[in-house]
Structure 1
């Protein structure tokens, strides 16, 4: 094994301008290690032992995401990693594995303080290396966090869009088949002879039913009304079709209306007239279902557009924060229903518009709501309460869930980059770090308080940015 000299260390790009005496001190106080390919240097939550100077070989830092290996960074020959000066990280946040055989120097953790006190230039370059490395790792992990969030939203949105889209396809196909039956009805209908008064009765009753506001009818009450209509039809020898009781009940046509028809319409025409009314009501119902499904798709698309702030630029604008929160809830509707989560909105609708980046704030609401949903997953149900209010010249928003709470020992770390209490594969530990950065960008604050059964995140930021 070739000895390590100051010339060896000067081949490190970050060490090339460090005084030779400081490099010599480094060599004298480092421990030399050789690791085999495939050997782990660190695993999650293992304490970092010191600063690693890679003489030869390559190591990779990765995390497990949904059971899959996600490489965050590769550190090759003549590079530095590990516990760098002034870093808050004391535990490994992922797996560090030798991709090849590795030869390295390790400056033990207890000696880092001594280095900082004695060797300014060496400390300075290592701090710069730490800043660059953190920036690179954070940027890569934040991109992954965004892609994860986008994937979750896309999956939920696809599910939300699928239901109304399927309803439109199903409804249009059924409507087409239904309309094909009209010729036979039409032939019978044009043979009917009625007075203008009788025609007006039929027309007015049908239009009244179509435009009547639908009322919720209980299952027992609905069943009773349908039975009454079925009995009436039987008594008046109206035998076809069988969906008349259901349609007439749906549109509010009752026994009183049927008695009026029977009193005004000749008995030989009663059946065909009722069938014609029923066919029109069926068509109306199918068109209404298609319209409702189409409207649902339109609302979802509108929510996506507002959520992603497609029409906005990169500058702050005056926005209603409730619009962003509500659109976030629409985007996350599938996950909320899947988790059996109830959302309580306690909004101060008199809040003035705030000067903010709409897209950035939507990331805040998404991360906080998503974390609350995940926290309540083990219990299979829960409640999220979102409250907004004015606090002098600030907007105050709280997101509270009734989940199990955050352990006290984790409360001070929840905003740290890469820290997560979620199981491996369910989070990168950057969601709350993103929340913190965005709110700081808006000159605001984020606080958390937690106990079993209640976890509350409080956000405050100035109305005028």
Structure 2
């Protein structure tokens, strides 16, 4: 390609309706340049000095940092980019190079002013192209932010749900195996000849153990009790005593209780009775384990529904700030515990409900708390949450003792697309979205940060008049 014509430019959709004389002006004031394979169109830190139109070939764009390179996009034929009218771009933050031989038309930045003053239709089409590009990029970045947040939450939920689900499956399998031996034990019971008084004694003892609020035993206490009970059972000629002693220790039977049962049931009936009692206790424990696991799963699902407000609308409604924070913490629990962090909750029990959009506010808590946990990195840190109120507003403080936010960028953290995280770890929209949600609630958000202490303070009106 040696030259460029008006017809070639006009074949590009962006310029279809631009008068020929304006396109000719653009051609006369720009240059046609050939880029060979791997030749750079721009790189991080290079000044944005021209508008460019890809006429043939394609370019690839990458985001670079010290640890990794991330592919961002392919810039193909007919793409119009670079410095466009009213664009505020000063320099590039990414790398763009040619794939094979490519041809670009370059219009110097210095000519943009003349274009704006003299060529309305040309300026209009380029401004339209820029606004469309910004809209599409913002939409994609917002979608990426949502996907990243969903990915973080899903990872924690998968772990949290897997634990009780695995426990349920394990307990169910053990319960099935355990119940398969019940007929044989029942057969031994049916051969017994005992009076009502003995039956009532055994039933009352079982019920008392099931209802007792037992304090946990230390490992040494358990070991000593197991030895004592095992010696007693073997002395009374109970077969397979080692198989039932664990259940008796679990419910903290002692020798005096077993001795009393022996006296009530008699030597002949003691062994089948204590085996039956242990069997009932094992069944009860397994059922309780399954119930605890199912309750845990139910609690997680409730937290998800509360966090997302999936069963309610998004209009202003009476909102419990503490409920939203607790639901968010439930979803982040795995991440907090995995890294050994601590929670310090100083929640005012009298905090009033406010008028708000609970689902959106939960997104605020998620964004800030997740960032705080990330700031703690691998060290065992502390996340502190403080709530308070006055006659008009509630105040929520979300504090971490992480590395802090450098003072020179604290006034930029709420800007769209600004991020301190590495490539692929942040879109720069989390805190931008957070601020917009707070603004929507007619509230305020501010940050103060020094190494070891970062405090996000949020003020929300109690009676929102929106």
Alpha-carbon distance in 2 for matches of 1:281, 1:337: 32
Structure 1 position 389 matched with structure 2 position 424? no
Deviation per residue, 1:199-218 (Å, 9 max, x gap) = 21111010111122242222
Deviation per residue, 1:57-76 (Å, 9 max, x gap) = 45455558997855457465
- CA distance 1:84–1:368, change in 2 (3 Å): farther
Match of residue 199 from structure 1: 199
Match of residue 338 from structure 1: 338
- CA distance 1:157–1:248, change in 2 (3 Å): same
Alpha-carbon distance in 2 for matches of 1:416, 1:279: 64
Retained in 1: the 8 A contact 2:9–2:23? Answer: yes
Deviation per residue, 1:311-366 (Å, 9 max, x gap) = 12232222112222221222222222222222222222322222222222222222
Match of residue 171 from structure 2: 171
Aligned to 1:387, what secondary structure does the other structure show?
strand
The gaps in structure 2 that reach 5 residues or longer are: none
Alpha-carbon distance in 1 for matches of 2:392, 2:88: 34
Match of residue 103 from structure 1: 104
Alpha-carbon distance in 1 for matches of 2:15, 2:391: 52
Q: Shift of the alpha carbon at 1:259?
A: 2.8
Alpha-carbon distance in 2 for matches of 1:156, 1:174: 27
Aligned to 1:395, what secondary structure does the other structure show?
strand
Alpha-carbon distance in 1 for matches of 2:115, 2:402: 44
Alpha-carbon distance in 1 for matches of 2:219, 2:174: 25
Match of residue 412 from structure 1: 411
User: Which deviates further from its counterpart, 352-361 or 127-136?
Assistant: 127-136
User: Which deviates further from its counterpart, 23-32 or 125-134?
Assistant: 23-32
Alpha-carbon distance in 1 for matches of 2:74, 2:368: 28
Task: Report 1:432-443 matches (<5 A).
Answer: 432-443=431-442
Aligned to 1:174, what secondary structure does the other structure show?
helix
Deviation per residue, 1:255-302 (Å, 9 max, x gap) = 332232133221221121111110000000000001111111111122
- CA distance 1:113–1:439, change in 2 (3 Å): farther
Match of residue 82 from structure 2: 82
RMSD: 3.3
Aligned residues between the structures: 460
Retained in 2: the 8 A contact 1:63–1:72? Answer: no
Alpha-carbon distance in 2 for matches of 1:407, 1:455: 10
Retained in 2: the 8 A contact 1:404–1:453? Answer: yes
Structure 1 position 185 matched with structure 2 position 191? no
User: Which deviates further from its counterpart, 326-335 or 66-75?
Assistant: 66-75
Structure 1 position 240 matched with structure 2 position 235? no
The gaps in structure 1 that reach 5 residues or longer are: none
User: Which deviates further from its counterpart, 423-432 or 137-146?
Assistant: 423-432
Task: Report 1:322-401 matches (<5 A).
Answer: 322-377=322-377, 379-401=378-400
User: Which deviates further from its counterpart, 122-131 or 209-218?
Assistant: 122-131
Retained in 1: the 8 A contact 2:314–2:358? Answer: no
